[in-house]
Amino acid sequence: MRVVADIPNPHVKITLHSYNNKYILKLEKANLEQIYKIEETEVAGDEGAMALLDEDFIEAVVNRFQDMRDAFVSTVRRNS
């Protein structure tokens, strides 16, 4: 897997990879991560893949991280 770019963002760590004719967007926050796989034919190169990271998408990702954290904390509390 080749790292195409580390994309600066104040809310999450974003890394764009290229592997097996796909772009892989890896977004991380604390001990959680989200991965999105995009066929290379669906976007116009590296810039097309990075263009997907608009404000609305990042906001949805951050909200999803909060939901993931809440679900994990809840299960730990129930099962400890």
Q: How far apart are CA 71 and CA 9, in angstroms?
A: 24
The model's pLDDT over 33-79, given as tens digits with 9 standing for 90+, comes to 999 999 999 999 999 999 999 999 999 999 999 999 999 999 999 99
For the whole model, what pTM was predicted?
0.91
Query: What is the structure's pLDDT at 13?
Result: 98
Q: How far apart are CA 77 and CA 65, in angstroms?
A: 18
Query: What is the structure's pLDDT at 58?
Result: 97
- In the chain, alpha helices (H): 45-51, 55-78
Residue located via tokens 């954290």: 69
Local structure of 43: helix, strand or coil: coil
For residue 37 the two structure tokens come to 């796989």
CA-nearest of 41, 69, 30 to 49 is 41
